[in-house]
């Protein structure tokens, strides 16, 4: 029954122009649950060729739902105390369930729903409390893998400066909340995000036997912002020239994610896909769905709830945002980004503790309040922190109709730098060339120039240009190969760096696993020579793939696979990595070979 239901739902959600012959995948074909699970593992994208006996088997493989069972947990509130209870409760404030399937299919799964009959602040805290308690084991492992000891491997001086910044920023935000949350949607939602964060912290404390620092959960949520705050808070950077910045090697020259928005031939469908690039120790992942019917303001009518009240997204333990970022929203929007960074030291002066909302908070606010690309951009632009500087894409699936021309406002693109934000409708680009690629380089000429990218081009060449960097050329060459979900997945997991001429570099050997849609820097030889560190050997690469389309997005569904690509390359195994002993990876399986799957939400 499990497998049959999976096939039925897969057919319903993403059946395209091909005919899906589910009679080959009936309950009689798979006799029991264990057999079904075995088949799921054996039929990953890397094994499709040998099993192409069915019509478009790849579509089936990419669409099969891995249905998990998890116990319901509720939070109740008696007016003074919050209580966590196993099982259902009639007076619940928040209800949810969690299952850690990391060793089975690469993901944890979390669903949380809050009760609109309680005040928003009570709902928010209860939702966080539930998440912190349910996911405490993964939070602790993620903390050990990515945060523990940060003040040693960065510096105590940086941690002290960051703490001062956060304290000042927190006081300013609390003051603004007190003044404006009753009538301002932005500040009402900022207050709720902070309440939810406090809940996660307290839930972890209640459930975990492993104490961590008081602000550790906040710092996990700040992961993207911290990258830029390290430069912004360094007094030595303030007086640097552009040339000094480049020569110092302090510039953020890492690749950070690939994204593609692809219009199929004859406008048959619109795909949105994202590949996270990160350190391999970050691969403890959770697919999350929040259903939080908060009101727009503190004085709004009960029915006036945020349009983005429900969100499904890829995320990490203890983190309220995606971090990748990749979101599917009840407002009909899909939002995602790739990091563009800032190479212009003169702009860091625009990062101040007062007057700014951290990027991860602004993202959640915009996701909750935005109803289209324009309003999402307006909300996100308020109180720009100048940290975690990204190119954001906002796809409005409400405007997409199959086999019809792309309407204006279907795709908005926003780019951020310290003190600067630029956002416009880019639907015409999608109409003209049928794809929008994103690969960590600013698109808008002014943002490209102000980001310091020209100095990087002058020093290192085409790798830092918008149109000649390897991923730009690969997307331009290969986007026409996308005809269905299977071929889209192939492109987003693509890495054939030893044989693809577009992956070559002025290196020894003359290519890099960085120069692909899904990077594999672990495969670069440790004794190789490279013009800059991003092209070399390190614990870094494409760590996942997410994909949605016009059928899945309205149901808040997406296809996903966790772990580095293994389509053209060997499976990533910690036991084979020379950096394994110095790179914490608690809670990880050794081998990361999991199928593409679609998780069915149940709350």
Cα dihedral 491→497→502→507 (10° resolution): 150
Mean of pLDDT values over 127-136: 99
Answer yes or no: pTM beyond 0.75.
yes
Q: 507: Cβ–Cβ under 8 A, 6 or more apart, which residues? A: 528, 529, 530, 531, 535
What is the per-residue pLDDT for 249? 76
Q: Which two tokens stand for residue 301?
A: 């009518």
Q: What is the pLDDT of residues 184-218, one digit of tens each?
A: 999 999 999 999 999 999 999 999 999 999 999 99
What is the per-residue pLDDT for 520? 99
Q: How confident is the model at residue 36 (pLDDT cuts 50, 70, 90)?
A: very low
CA distance linking residue 314 with residue 253, whole number of Å: 24
What is the per-residue pLDDT for 153? 85
Mean of pLDDT values over 235-242: 87
Q: What is the pLDDT of residues 42-57, one digit of tens each?
A: 333 333 333 322 323 3
Domain membership of residue 239 (yes or no) is yes
Q: Answer whether 456's CB lies under 8 Å from 449's CB.
A: no
What is the per-residue pLDDT for 65? 44
β-strand pairing of 277-278 with 435-438: unpaired
Domain membership of residue 387 (yes or no) is yes
**Torsion region of 475: left, alpha or beta (phi above 0 gives left; psi -120 to 50 gives alpha):** alpha
Domain membership of residue 321 (yes or no) is yes
Q: Could you list the residue range(s) of the whole structural domain that residue 398 is in?
A: 221-451+482-495+544-566
Domain boundary (63, 81, 113) is at 63
- Phi, then psi, of 222 in degrees rounded to 5: -85, 5
Give the rounded distance of the alpha carbon of 190 from its chain centre. 20
What's the Rg (C-alpha) of the chain?
23
CA distance linking residue 19 with residue 56, whole number of Å: 8
Q: Which two tokens stand for residue 499?
A: 């044989």
3-state secondary structure 273-303: EEECEECHHHCCCEEEEEECCCECCCCCCCC
* Residue 412: CATH number of its domain: 3.60.60.20
Domain membership of residue 459 (yes or no) is no
Domain membership of residue 408 (yes or no) is yes
Residue with tokens 């409400």: 398
Domain membership of residue 251 (yes or no) is yes
Q: What is the pLDDT of residues 446-499, one digit of tens each?
A: 999 999 999 999 999 999 999 999 999 999 999 999 999 999 999 999 999 999
Q: Answer whether 394's CB lies under 8 Å from 411's CB.
A: yes
Mean of pLDDT values over 71-79: 96
Q: Which two tokens stand for residue 429?
A: 């680009």
Burial grade of 31 (CB within 10 A; 0-12, 13-18, 19 or more): exposed
Cα dihedral 28→30→32→34 (10° resolution): 180
Whether pLDDT at 403 is above 90:
yes
With CA atoms as reference, report the closest residue to 561 among 205, 276, 235.
276
Q: Residue 229: which H helix or E strand, with range?
A: helix 223-232
Mean of pLDDT values over 264-280: 98
Whether pLDDT at 30 is above 60:
no
Q: What is the pLDDT of residues 512-548, one digit of tens each?
A: 999 999 999 999 999 999 999 999 999 999 999 999 9
Whether pLDDT at 602 is above 50:
yes
With CA atoms as reference, report the closest residue to 284 among 602, 592, 595.
592
**Residue 560: count of CB within 10 angstroms of its CB:** 23
CA distance linking residue 542 with residue 570, whole number of Å: 14
Domain membership of residue 372 (yes or no) is yes
CA distance linking residue 432 with residue 256, whole number of Å: 27
CA distance linking residue 350 with residue 358, whole number of Å: 13
Concatenated DSSP letters for 452-464?
THHHHHHHH-GGG
Domain membership of residue 592 (yes or no) is no
Which SS3 state, helix, strand or coil, does residue 420 take?
A: strand
Crossing angle of helices 359-369/185-207, nearest 10°? 120
Whether pLDDT at 37 is above 80:
no
Q: What is the pLDDT of residues 84-117, one digit of tens each?
A: 999 999 999 999 999 999 999 999 999 999 999 9
What is the per-residue pLDDT for 438? 99
Q: 495: Cβ–Cβ under 8 A, 6 or more apart, which residues? A: 513, 516, 517, 518, 519, 520, 542, 565, 567, 568, 569
What is the per-residue pLDDT for 53? 29
Q: How confident is the model at residue 239 (pLDDT cuts 50, 70, 90)?
A: confident
- The percent of residues above 70 in pLDDT, for the chain, comes to 88
Q: Answer whether 262's CB lies under 8 Å from 435's CB.
A: yes
CA distance linking residue 456 with residue 334, whole number of Å: 32
CA distance linking residue 78 with residue 75, whole number of Å: 10
Q: How confident is the model at residue 252 (pLDDT cuts 50, 70, 90)?
A: low
The total number of structural domains in the chain stands at 2
Domain boundary (24, 44, 63) is at 63
DSSP state for residue 343 in the 8-state scheme = -
Burial grade of 249 (CB within 10 A; 0-12, 13-18, 19 or more): exposed
Q: Answer whether 70's CB lies under 8 Å from 99's CB.
A: yes
Whether pLDDT at 66 is above 70:
no
What is the per-residue pLDDT for 541? 98
Domain boundary (14, 43, 63) is at 63
Q: Which spans in 326-386 are helix H?
A: 359-369, 373-381
What is the per-residue pLDDT for 7? 32
Q: Which two tokens stand for residue 252?
A: 């953020």
CA distance linking residue 242 with residue 117, whole number of Å: 55
Q: What is the pLDDT of residues 275-329, one digit of tens each?
A: 999 999 999 999 999 999 999 998 889 889 999 999 999 999 999 999 999 999 9
With CA atoms as reference, report the closest residue to 97 among 66, 64, 133.
133
CA distance linking residue 98 with residue 406, whole number of Å: 38
β-strand pairing of 286-291 with 107-114: parallel
């Amino acid at each position: 029954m499990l497998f049959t239901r999976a096939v039925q739902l897969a057919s319903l959600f993403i059946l395209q122009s091909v005919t899906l012959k589910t009679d080959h995948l009936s309950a009689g074909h798979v006799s029991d649950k264990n057999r079904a699970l075995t088949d799921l593992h054996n039929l990953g994208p890397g094994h499709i060729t040998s099993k192409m006996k069915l019509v478009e088997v790849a579509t089936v493989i990419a669409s099969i739902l891995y249905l998990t069972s998890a116990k319901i947990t509720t939070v109740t509130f008696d007016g003074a105390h919050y209580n966590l209870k196993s099982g259902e409760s009639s007076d619940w404030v928040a209800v949810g369930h969690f299952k850690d399937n990391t060793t089975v299919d690469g993901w944890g799964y979390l669903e949380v729903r809050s009760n609109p009959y309680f005040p928003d602040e009570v709902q928010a805290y209860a939702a966080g409390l539930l998440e912190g308690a349910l996911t405490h084991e993964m939070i602790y492992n993620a903390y050990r893998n990515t945060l523990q000891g940060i003040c040693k491997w960065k510096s105590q001086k940086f941690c002290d400066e960051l703490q001062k910044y956060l304290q000042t920023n927190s006081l300013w935000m609390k003051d603004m909340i007190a003044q404006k949350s009753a009538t301002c949607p932005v500040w009402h939602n900022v207050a709720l995000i902070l309440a939810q964060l406090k809940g996660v912290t307290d839930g972890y404390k209640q459930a975990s036997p492993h104490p961590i620092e008081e602000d550790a959960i906040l710092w996990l949520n700040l992961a993207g912002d911290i990258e830029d705050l390290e430069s912004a808070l360094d007094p030595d950077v303030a007086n640097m020239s552009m040339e000094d910045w480049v020569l110092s090697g302090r510039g953020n020259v890492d690749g950070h994610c690939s994204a593609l928005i692809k219009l199929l031939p004859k406008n048959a469908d619109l795909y949105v896909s994202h590949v996270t690039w990160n350190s391999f120790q970050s691969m403890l992942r959770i697919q999350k769905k929040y259903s939080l019917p908060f009101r727009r303001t503190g004085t709004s009518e009960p029915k006036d709830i945020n349009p983005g009240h429900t969100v499904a997204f890829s995320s990490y333990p203890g983190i309220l945002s995606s971090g990748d970022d990749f979101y599917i929203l009840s407002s009909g929007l899909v939002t995602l980004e790739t990091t563009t960074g800032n190479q212009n030291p003169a702009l860091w002066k625009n990062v101040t503790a007062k007057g700014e909302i951290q990027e991860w908070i602004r993202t959640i606010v915009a996701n909750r309040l935005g109803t289209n690309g324009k309003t999402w951009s307006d909300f996100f632009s308020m109180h720009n922190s100048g940290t975690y500087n990204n190119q954001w894409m906002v796809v409005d699936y409400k405007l997409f109709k199959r086999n019809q021309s792309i309407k204006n406002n279907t795709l908005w693109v926003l780019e951020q730098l310290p003190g600067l934000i630029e956002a416009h409708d880019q639907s015409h680009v999608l109409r003209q060339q049928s794809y929008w690629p994103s690969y960590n380089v600013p698109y808008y000429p002014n943002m490209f120039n102000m980001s310091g990218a020209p100095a990087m081009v002058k020093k290192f060449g085409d790798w830092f240009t918008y149109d000649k960097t390897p991923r730009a050329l690969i997307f331009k060459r290969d986007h026409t190969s996308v005809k269905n979900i299977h071929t889209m997945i192939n492109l987003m997991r693509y890495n054939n760096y030893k044989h693809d001429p577009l992956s070559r570099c002025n290196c020894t050997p003359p290519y890099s696993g960085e120069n692909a849609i899904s990077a594999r820097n672990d495969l670069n030889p440790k004794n190789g020579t490279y013009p800059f560190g991003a092209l070399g050997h390190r614990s870094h690469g494409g760590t996942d793939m997410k994909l949605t389309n016009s059928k899945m997005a309205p149901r808040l569904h997406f296809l996903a696979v966790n772990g580095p690509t293994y389509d053209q390359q060997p499976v990533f195994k910690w036991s084979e990595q020379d950096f394994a002993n110095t790179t914490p990876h608690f809670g990880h399986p050794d081998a990361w070979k999991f199928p593409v799957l679609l998780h069915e939400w149940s709350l």
